[in-house]
Structure 1
Amino acid sequence: MHVVATAGHVDHGKSTLVRALTGMEPDRWAEERRRGMTIDLGFAWTALPSGETVAFVDVPGHERFVPNMLAGIGPVPAAMIVVAADEGWMPQSAEHLAALDALGVRHGLLVVTRSDLADPAPARAEARDRIAASSLGAVEAVAVSGTTGEGLGELRSALDRLVAALPAADPDGPVRLWIDRVFTIKGAGTVATGTLGRGRVAVGDELTLDNDSVRVRGLQALGKPAGEVTAVARVAVNLRGVAKDRLSRGDALLTPGSFRQTDLIDVRLHGDPVKELPPTVTLHIGSAAVPARVRPLGADTCRLRLGRPLPLRLGDRALLRDPGRHHVAGGVTVLDVVPPGLSRRGAAAARAADLDTMDGVPDLAGELRRRRLIHASELAAMGVPVSGTAVAGEWFAEPGHWAGLADRLVAEATAYRSAHPLEAGAPVEALRHRLGLPDRILVEALVRPPLRVRNGRVETGATGIPAELVAAVGKAFDGKPAFAAPEAYELAELGLGARQQAAAVRAGLLVQLAPNVVLRAGAPEEAAAVLRGIPQPFTLSEARRALDTTRRVAVPLLELLDRTGVTGRLPDDRRLFV
């Protein structure tokens, strides 16, 4: 299926032409048929001589309904511009053309209607000249009469040539279905319609709506049920469990994780000079129309603060309109959907210079230069193709920035070790905060020899033992038997609290048997040598007497020998060497 918008002045016979082509009534409202004027979007379709199907989005022509018109042409890749032979080019034709040009539409067809009432040549010549100066360029022109049917065959052939020239849609791309109509069907629930410009939608798919998950209950295309619809197509989506008032024109159904909802964007304007924009304009993209406050930056760049978040990507093309003057200010290309703050002095000028280097084409290297460190999911949501090797998990980094972080990690870990000599190393979480990193796996990925990660800390490999710690340990055992452990109060008086004991254990000065039960380093090996010399197997009491120690020491010491496989415990609680 192919989708074409029909644009033109209110009196140029667009709806009559669509009816004649399709045999369908595009005007859905009784008031439209009574007044002979399209007020809202109309939809119809027909088969072409080649067998291709073309669907029409008939947009209003009256200036009072320009927002409706823009909602119809926004997602559509081609346009059929209708001009009447007896009236020629009209101001509303110019506004429609300006909108198509602002959106960068490049495929079109000129149809001169009511050729039974006047010679179509003058109107055709003027319209082609005007259209040629727009993004549409030179277009084919066909003269028809919707009343007599003259020229309809030629028009069908011209439409075949138009759709054959359209670029192939991306069937595997992410879905962004801008909703242009919402209604309910008894027994089915809420239905939303729109033009699917990219990707595919299938029954059962999960999509997102304003960051909420919704499920596709059913699909229709060209008025018939479908299990799957592939772009480009007009599609009606029946959503499970979604109330009608939850949706409105301008909302979008999205592939999860593929678009960023943002209300702040930096753009390049193709049209009026930025300095001529009013403080508030209306941004039109897809079927959405939202107010936007303008902050000029450069000659053709500005920042827009949107009235509500929209799902946008880098490179998106939108339109700015000044509703006060009924004027299309021009098209915009989205350059950044996550722009930096501009609070510092000179930040706006620096940002303008940066935007001058950007063209809106998503580029991984460019984004890494600007953002330095970013997650793959954020890149995907911005529309940036992800390739190459991540630095950690799904994190990508600009190489120079990553190398600088590695140097800073060494400095921070060393500084921490100097400030906390009793600790084995700097906690990974503390280093994450010092380096301003969003994920602890980044800290671990930055570690290079001689640094190492152990037990949640980054160790520097430094072996220096504070002299006061060595002295305190020596005093704790002065004059004591080999297997006598200092009491807790003695350790405390010497300044050997839990932290100091742990540091002494790491330094190889002590062996920790239990909280506040410590022996000199090497004591377990010495104890094993003594116990090998007594009759086997032996009891706890026999071991305690052989070691000349207390039960407070003997119990955890024997448990340590059991854990390390030196001794084995028998069912009767006696032990022997294994």
Structure 2
Amino acid sequence: MSRVDVRTSVVATAGHVDHGKSSLVRALTGRDPDRYEEEKRRGLTIDLGYAWTDVPGAGTVAFVDVPGHERFVPTMLAGVGPVPVVVFVVAADGGWMPQSAEHLAALDALDVRHGLLVVTRADLADPAPTRRAALAELRRTSLGDVPAVACSVLTGEGLDAVRTALASVLSTVPAPDPTAPVRFWVDRSFSVTGAGTVVTGTLAAGTLAVGDELVVGGRTVHVRGVQSLERPVERVAGVARVAVNLRGVDRRDVRRGDALLTPGTHVRTDVVDVRGDVGAGAGELPAELVVHLGSAAVPARVRPLGGALARLQLRTELPLVVGDRLLLRDPARHEVLGSAAVLDVTPPALRRRGAAAARAADLADVTGPDLASELRRRHLVPGAALRAMGVPVSGTPVVGDWYADPAWWAAQRARVPEVVRAHRAANPLHPGPTLEHVRRTLRLPDLDVVTALVTDPLQVRDGRVVERIDDLPPAVERAVAAVLADLAASPFAAPDVERLRDLHLGRSELAAAVRAGRLERVADGLVLAPGYRERAVAALRAVPQPFSLSEARKALGTSRRVAVPLLEALDAAGATVRDPDDRRRLR
């Protein structure tokens, strides 16, 4: 097996002359792209055909031969969707036809920019008039000015010129990113005895390799084998025609229009907001149309938002990213309406009066995947979600993998002290609100986000947001130091009322010491050194489980006055469990 990347140029043959296209592919490759007996008998391509050959100056070139008849336009679109180059075929004796115009409109909507015009059957009519007319039509589309060659499959005249022109076109096509996420659109699915499910398609970008884990339709599958042009390979990079042997999915559960995806990439969605490029505004679109992307064709309902903006409700989910270009087609009129650029793959619901107009205003400046734009609209987003939406992520997250709009983040940071003050006013005996209280009040998704928003003079202590008190009055500081010295010798011998009175540590002084983090409150009037819970649990591990109050008191080296509230504090913290017989055990 080959252990190197296999690169193949892939082109689609489009146009209205079925027998002309297939004959051209057959003449160039020596292979018949028509697979069905009916196609051979009628001279009519009804499904996608495939063939390949070596072209001097271009290497291996694979052809996807698509149907030309108007009845099979959806099949044609499934073939050209993932392909970056087109050979547009028009017959000299037939000239420009309505089907030619529909194929060209589809290519323009797909923004295909690389192509070659081939005028076939030049032995039957002067190709010059057809060439001029076709070039004029192509010039008005995304293809622009393309090279044109006339040929005759019957006599062989011009076939070498076709190969030369094709090599020249392919040399100008930018190489796709081999490290890009895979979105491999399936155009065939079948079973092979002893191998299982096999799917074929055009790999537009990224790399497929034996052993890869992929996702299709929400199901995880593994790549058992890869072939490119009927040759087994270990890995293949786009653009290439590929057959993939899958483990983990039945042939009946994967079909044309499905896509193999790199896990964690693309968003499977049935609602998207788009900007249409359809000549008229989105309000002129029919209420129902068909969306084409890759090899998929999905019916959709249209809700105009204003101007060229619209929301599409897809009948089935598609794996999309921001910036995808969708082809819009009206099947009732057999008409390509134009294209639409995907602006949002996870749009908000539109429930209130005026929501559509407000949404149009939100999207007015969105032109493609842009981190700053996404953050302005979403405020706070995980980097993984941004990457799945196709939005390039840069800069430093505010915490973990969370990215935030700077203005929104500053506003939330300013609100935290307000939440703390309001909580202290309503709960004067509490040192401050819990992190969870702040999270709910500010409607934040994660406690780590709350922690990242806390700045001086606030701090997080014991799961609460409290005011930072760095300095105690000198007299209080000396008294607290004395208590800590006592506790250093006997960690659980909490100072009694007399000792606290001698040190002039009343209720307010103890509260200040607790707020400053110098002491921890066990119960009213009972304090120990910070970290007393952890030290108590460590001491109790040496006691046979379960243990009584007396056994705990001895292990801790303290009195009943301290042991009872200390164990109750451990119960409340979930460190210990109290049995019905009042014995306890460590959790």
Question: Structure 2 length normalisation: TM-score?
Answer: 0.80
The letter of the residue matching 2:176 is A
Residue 145 (structure 1) shift: 1.3
Task: Report if the CA contact (8 A) 1:374-1:396 is conserved.
Answer: yes
Match of 2:297 in 1: 289
Q: Which residue is equivalent to 2:345?
A: 337
CA deviation digits over 1:51-96, x for unaligned, max 9? 5111111001111111100101111101111101111111111100
CA contact (8 A) 1:342 1:348 kept: yes
Counterpart CA distance in 2 for 1:116 and 1:503 is 102
Q: Is residue 127 of structure 2 the alignment partner of residue 120 of structure 1?
A: yes
Are residues 1:275 and 2:280 paired?
Answer: no
Query: Are residues 1:357 and 2:365 paired?
Result: yes
Cα distance in structure 2, aligned partners of 1:558 and 1:251: 61
Provide the rounded CA distance (Å) in 2 between the counterparts of 1:372 and 1:24: 56
How far apart in 1 are the matches of 2:24 and 2:520? 92
Which residue number in structure 1 is paired with residue 83 of structure 2?
76
Q: Which has the larger radius of gyration?
A: 1
Q: How far apart, in 1, do the equivalents of 2:566 and 2:449 lie?
A: 42
Distance 1:420 1:124, change over 3 A: same
Q: How far does residue 415 in structure 1 lie from its aligned partner after superposition?
A: 1.2
User: Which residue matches 2:384?
Assistant: 377
- Go from structure 1 to structure 2 and tell me whether the alpha carbon gap of 1:513 and 1:92 turns closer, same or farther (over 3 Å shift): closer
2:171 aligned to which of 144, 161, 164? 164
Cα distance change of structure 1 residues 126 and 504 upon mapping to structure 2, 3 Å threshold: closer
Assess, with a 3 A threshold, how the Cα gap between structure 1 residues 257 and 519 changes in structure 2: closer, same or farther.
closer
- Residues 40 and 59 of structure 1 are in contact (CA less than 8 Å); yes or no, is this contact kept in structure 2? yes
In the other structure, the counterpart of 1:424 is 431
Match of 1:187 in 2: 194
2:325 to 292, 310, 317: 317
Q: Does 1:251 align with 2:258?
A: yes
Out of 87, 90, 98, the residue aligned to residue 91 of structure 1 is 98
* Counterpart residue number, 1:534: none
Match of 1:34 among 35, 41, 45: 41
The residue that corresponds to 2:63 in the other structure is: 56
Alignment match of 1:44 (pick from 51, 71, 74): 51
Taking the TM superposition and a 5 Å limit, the aligned residue runs for 1:515-534 are none
Structure 1, unmatched stretches of 5+, are: 464-479, 485-495, 523-543, 545-549, 560-578
- For the residue of structure 2 that corresponds to 1:425, the secondary structure is coil
1:431 is paired with a residue whose SS is helix
Aligned-pair CA distance for 1:428 = 0.6
1: distance between equivalents of 2:211 and 2:100?
Answer: 42
Contact 1:192 1:238 in 2 (8 A): yes
> What whole-Å deviation, never above 9, does each CA across 1:512-557 have from its counterpart, x for those lacking one?
99879x65899xxxxxxxxxxxxxxxxxxxxx9xxxxx96348789
Aligned equivalents of 1:246 and 1:119: distance in 2? 50
Question: Residue 408 of structure 1 aligns to which amino acid in structure 2?
Answer: R
The structural deviation recorded for 1:241 is 2.6
Q: CA deviation at 1:195?
A: 0.7
Local SS of the residue matching 1:448: coil
- Counterpart amino acid of 1:2? S
* Deviation (angstroms), 1:457: 1.1
Tell me, what secondary structure is at the counterpart of 1:297?
Answer: strand
The offset of 1:483, in angstroms, is 8.5
| Alignment match, 1:393 | 400
Q: CA shift at 1:424, angstroms?
A: 2.6
Instruction: Specify which of 205, 211, 221 is matched with residue 204 of structure 1.
Output: 211
Unaligned segments of structure 2, at least 5 residues: 1-7, 471-495, 501-506, 530-552, 568-587
1:216 match: 223
Aligned equivalents of 1:337, 1:28: Cα separation in 2: 38
Identity %: 58
SS at match of 2:171: helix
> Aligned pairs, how many?
500
Cα distance between partner residues in 1 of 2:149 and 2:346: 46
In structure 2, which of residues 284, 300, 307 is the aligned counterpart of residue 299 of structure 1?
307
Query: Is the Cα–Cα contact under 8 Å of residues 113 and 143 in structure 1 kept in the other structure?
Result: yes
Given that residues 523 and 565 in structure 2 are in contact (C-alpha distance below 8 angstroms), is that contact kept between their aligned partners in structure 1?
no
CA contact (8 A) 1:75 1:287 kept: yes
Q: Are the equivalent residues in 1 in contact too, given 2:19–2:43 (CA < 8 A)?
A: no
Tell me the amino acid that sits aligned with residue 200 of structure 1: T
SS in 1 for 2:431: coil
Question: What's the CA shift for 1:328?
Answer: 0.5
1:467-478 equivalences under 5 Å are none
Partner Cα distance (1:193, 1:312) in 2: 20
8 Å CA contact 2:58, 2:171 repeated in 1 = no
Distance 1:430 1:162, change over 3 A: same
- For 1:262-317, what per-residue CA distance to the aligned partner results, in whole angstroms no more than 9, with x for missing partners? 11111111124222211100000000000110011222221111111111111111
Kindly tell me: are residues 423 and 462 of structure 1, through their superposed partners in 2, closer, same or farther at Cα, counting changes over 3 Å?
Answer: farther
Judged with a 3 Å threshold, the aligned counterparts in structure 2 of structure 1 residues 453 and 89 are, in CA distance, closer, same or farther, namely same
Distance change (3 Å), C-alpha of 1:399 and 1:62:
same
Q: Is the CA contact 1:483–1:553 (under 8 Å) kept in the aligned structure 2?
A: no
CA-based RMSD of the aligned residues comes to 2.9
Q: CA deviation at 1:12?
A: 5.2
- Are the counterparts in 2 of residues 281 and 321 from structure 1 also a CA contact under 8 Å? yes
**Structure 1: how far apart are the matches of 2:78 and 2:94?**
26
